[in-house]
Structure 1
Amino acid sequence: MKPYELRELIRNEEFVKSTTGACNDFAQANLVILPKEYAFDFLLYTQRNHKACPVIDVLEAGQIESRLAKGSDIRTDIPLYYIYEDGQFVEEMTDITRIWQDDFVSFLLGCSFTFESALIKEGIPLRHIDENKNVAMYRTNIATEPAGQFSGPLVVSMRPVKNNQVERAKAITSRFPNMHGAPVHVGDPAVIGIEDISSPDYGEFVEVKEDETPVFWACGVTPQAAAVNTKIPRIITHAPGHMFVTDKKNEDFQ
């Protein structure tokens, strides 16, 4: 399926699920939408926390089409949106057209689904894709660098990797600095504040077998953890795992 075909299905609410494994050769993106008044502070937050929040496109106030996806509409082309108001999660929506504001600025952030494609192509299997699950994501005890109203913990995604493939996985993902790059932690989850790896804060858990090591990458859900610390009237994000699919090839971001 071509990205524009998938976006059309999403727009028509015929595809309302995680985009994990969809359009594998094409880059996907995390989303944060907020009023222009707060856009500079958020941009500063992304620059100070580039590994978790690598910006790949910014749609100016009121703009709905991304330069990365011809004919796209940021209000309808993500399977599921999360709505935060005054620091509280209030609802999820499949279409945000009715709450759209002309002063909304949209940020698209790099997504680890890009390096997942590279891992698979180079012989490193990913169990959550094999099991048709959303990747497991966790809040950590690692604080992000604050900016304005934005602060909070680093969120990470976890993938079990064969012990003898960990170094290759690190090298492969390091080629994609704008898609979270190399892991931020390898091994014992307790070191980064994850008490129970079987209970992710977002997504779905997959088993870590005896011959495997849990490997953790910075995650684009980090801004959602920051959103609950703000008093901004409204912030809109993608639901974890429900991404914006671009027309850009994964290789474009190496």
Structure 2
Amino acid sequence: MPSHAFSPSPDAACGLTTRSYAREVRAATRTGQFVDHTSGLASDYVQVNLAILSQALATDFQRYCDLNPRACPVLGVSEPGSPSLPALGPDIDIRTDAPRYVVWRDGVKVAEPTDLGAYWQDDLVTFAIGCSFSFEHALLADGIRLRHMDEGRNVAMYRTNRLTEPSGNFRGPMVVSMRPMKAADAIRAIQITSRLPQVHGAPVHLGDPAIIGIQDLAKPDYGDAVEVRPDEIPVFWACGVTPQAAIAAARPAFCITHAPGHMLVTDLLNRDLVTA
């Protein structure tokens, strides 16, 4: 956990930056003053994807994550009905602290609220899943530029032809995030992210997107497209949006996820996730 005492800056709500504390981001989100994607924010801190399901589905979903750790590395699980994740931040409230959510009924998106007060139920279990936004800090610290950040965009994400291992009714394609890089940067990125297995680890594919079933990089399934220049190759990492594809396939009567790119920022530090 961070050792400093929290002291919000005067512009925490509207001037969030890479230097923001995690609690600044959550405070601005909780009050509805920040509802944008979290790419590039509070870069010292771990960001997580969210999957919120009924207790009756939690065992199958936990096993789905265990079977697919590259796409679904679980960093925390709540108690049934609790909106707290104390291991990730003592003041976290799942109902308010992500900028935007997706509410699903029978596998269909029915709402994208910025607050879950009207949707919360007493049997819900929250899974916090590692996010590639965390390893981006390590890439930036090594001097690797990330175009979506330079352009103020959400990262591009694509459904692939690689199927995940099923558990119960949870199944579906692996979703990947893509960052264009020069070859030397891609090699270094592999070395850096392989030491971060709790936030997706090393890339799952480099180069020709058609090999993994992506026909047009200009048309991501989630997020924003970015240019891949002639001297660059697209580099693909497993993505925490993968559970949304599995949830769509499982068609649960009710569940909630984060909106792609709109993560929960935790008090965990990215540097503490690095393995030897």
TM > 0.5 = yes
Trace 1:52-131 onto structure 2 (pairs within 5 A).
Answer: 52-66=71-85, 67-131=87-151
CA distance in 2, matches of 1:50, 1:73: 25
1:165 corresponds to which of 173, 182, 185: 185
Is residue 41 of structure 2 the alignment partner of residue 22 of structure 1? yes
- The secondary structure found in structure 2 opposite 1:93 is coil
- The secondary structure found in structure 2 opposite 1:99 is coil
Aligned residues: 254
The one-letter code sitting in structure 1 at the alignment partner of 2:69 is H
CA distance in 2, matches of 1:96, 1:194: 33
The one-letter code sitting in structure 2 at the alignment partner of 1:50 is P
Corresponding residue for residue 60 of structure 2: 41
Query: Gaps (5+ residues) in structure 2?
Result: 1-19
CA distance in 2, matches of 1:167, 1:85: 42
The one-letter code sitting in structure 2 at the alignment partner of 1:9 is A
Moved more, 161-170 or 11-20: 161-170
Corresponding residue for residue 220 of structure 1: 240
The one-letter code sitting in structure 2 at the alignment partner of 1:198 is A
Give, in angstroms, the shift of residue 231 of structure 1: 2.9
Corresponding residue for residue 171 of structure 2: 151
Give, in angstroms, the shift of residue 206 of structure 1: 0.6
The one-letter code sitting in structure 1 at the alignment partner of 2:47 is Q
Give, in angstroms, the shift of residue 69 of structure 1: 1.1
Is residue 233 of structure 2 the alignment partner of residue 189 of structure 1? no
CA RMSD of aligned residues (A): 0.7
CA distance in 2, matches of 1:164, 1:219: 23
1:198 corresponds to which of 218, 224, 241: 218
- Between Structure 1 and Structure 2, the one with more strand by share is 1
CA distance in 2, matches of 1:207, 1:103: 44
- The secondary structure found in structure 2 opposite 1:203 is coil
- The secondary structure found in structure 2 opposite 1:96 is coil
Is residue 27 of structure 2 the alignment partner of residue 12 of structure 1? no
CA distance in 2, matches of 1:252, 1:57: 15
The one-letter code sitting in structure 2 at the alignment partner of 1:110 is G
Give, in angstroms, the shift of residue 4 of structure 1: 1.0
Corresponding residue for residue 233 of structure 1: 253
* TM-score normalised over the length of structure 2: 0.91
* TM-score normalised over the length of structure 1: 0.99
CA distance in 1, matches of 2:82, 2:105: 21
Identity rate of aligned residues, in percent?
54
Trace 1:132-143 onto structure 2 (pairs within 5 A).
Answer: 132-143=152-163
- The secondary structure found in structure 1 opposite 2:112 is strand
Give, in angstroms, the shift of residue 56 of structure 1: 0.2
1:186-232 deviation digits (Å, cap 9, x = unpaired): 00000000001110000001100111110000000001111111131
1:152-200 deviation digits (Å, cap 9, x = unpaired): 0000000001122211110101010010000000000000000011100
- The secondary structure found in structure 2 opposite 1:27 is strand
CA distance in 2, matches of 1:123, 1:46: 32
- The secondary structure found in structure 1 opposite 2:250 is coil
CA distance in 2, matches of 1:244, 1:164: 32
Give, in angstroms, the shift of residue 252 of structure 1: 1.1
1:45-64 deviation digits (Å, cap 9, x = unpaired): 00000000000000010111
